[in-house]
Amino acid sequence: MRIILFGSPGVGKGTQAKILSEKQNIPHISTGDILRQAVKDKTELGLKAAEIMNKGELVPDDIVIGIIKEVLKSEKCKNGFILDGFPRTVVQAIALDKMFDELNIKDAILVHITADENEIIKRLSLRRACRVCGAIFSLNEIQGLTQCPKCNAENSFYLREDDKEEVIRKRLKVYQTNTMPVLDYYLSKGRAISVNGIGTIEEVNENLLKLLNEKITVNQIS
Ligand code: AMP
């Protein structure tokens, strides 16, 4: 399975990608996670990216394209992958198609997870991350907890700089302007499906898998 999970910040791409990755035993590749790790490690890339990310803007195309090129070529992506947060511009989508051509990949499908903007703003402002392992939780999941349920770190929950309300608004604007055209690009090629992102995590995941299997079956027949 080769999947591009697409949708607004906060729609649940990361959560769904993690579940799919475990169920299908294929790697979850999140450009946001890779960049956040680089920021944490204070690498050259991290130093360049930090300020841009904190403002809710996009890291330059050539940087993220370079990151994905390396990852897709690697052994771990041989049997499939889930891309989360890439491509975010049409330039990135075109570069990704070129990589697919070079790697002889023909079956990648974009899955658009949908949700309305009010729901997204609510979800993002209630989101907390673990400073140690990067796991994301909703405030009500960690109410009263002092330890991270994923890595057991003490008092590690924080509101990501880019989940603050003014930055959320900026990220949503960037999404509408720069990222939404990527959907048209895939729709025009008949390589996109869409799934409702409202519901429990399990419901959304069930629908997503059902739609993916249908799409894969249709592609195999036609
Ligand atoms: P995410 O966790 O996917 O919401 O990404 C967090 C931030 O990382 C974004 O707001 C961007 O600043 C940056 N980023 C992640 N993926 C990309 C991408 N494909 N292109 C440009 N910037 C990205």
Residue 154's pLDDT is what? Answer: 96
Residue 12 Cβ contacting ligand 1 at under 6 Å: no
Q: Give the CATH number, domain containing residue 108.
A: 3.40.50.300
What was the pLDDT predicted at 220? 60
Per DSSP, helices labelled H in the chain are: 13-24, 31-40, 44-54, 61-73, 90-102, 117-125, 165-174, 180-188, 201-221
Decide if 144 is inside a domain.
yes
The confidence score (pLDDT) of residue 221 equals 54
Nearest to 5 by CA among 61, 72, 86: 86
Q: Which of 87, 114, 84 is nearest to 100 (CA)?
A: 87
pLDDT at 82: 97
Is 88 one of the annotated active-site residues of the chain?
Answer: yes
Question: Is 171 in the active site?
Answer: yes
What pLDDT does 218 receive? 65
Residue 185 falls inside a structural domain: yes
Determine, yes or no, domain membership for 221: no
Number of structural domains, the chain?
1
CA of 4 to the centre of ligand 1 (A): 14
Please name every residue paired with 147 in a beta bridge, in sequence order, or none if there are none. 154
Query: How much is the pLDDT for 123?
Result: 86
For 63-85, write each residue's pLDDT tens digit: 999 999 999 999 999 999 999 99
Q: Which residue among 55, 69, 127, 131 is the active-site one? A: 127
Residue 178, Cβ density class (10 Å: 0-12 exposed, 13-18 middle, ≥19 buried): middle
Is 131 among the catalytic positions?
no
Q: Which domain holds residue 132?
A: 2-203
pTM metric for this prediction: 0.89
**Residue 153 falls within a domain, yes or no?**
yes
Q: Is residue 214 in a domain?
A: no
Does 186 reside within a domain? Answer: yes
CA distance 63 to 84: 16
Indicate whether 215 belongs to any domain: no
Main-chain phi, psi angles of 109, to 5 degrees: -125, 135
Alpha carbon of 56 to ligand 1 centroid (Å) = 8
Do residues 26 and 16 lie in contact, with contact meaning Cβ atoms separated by under 8 Å? no
Residue 212 maps to a domain = no
pLDDT tens for the 222 residues of the chain, in order: 899 999 999 899 999 999 999 999 999 999 999 999 999 999 999 999 999 999 999 999 999 999 999 999 999 999 999 999 999 999 999 999 999 999 999 989 999 999 988 888 888 889 999 999 989 999 989 999 999 999 999 999 999 888 888 899 999 999 999 999 999 999 999 999 999 999 999 999 999 999 988 877 666 654
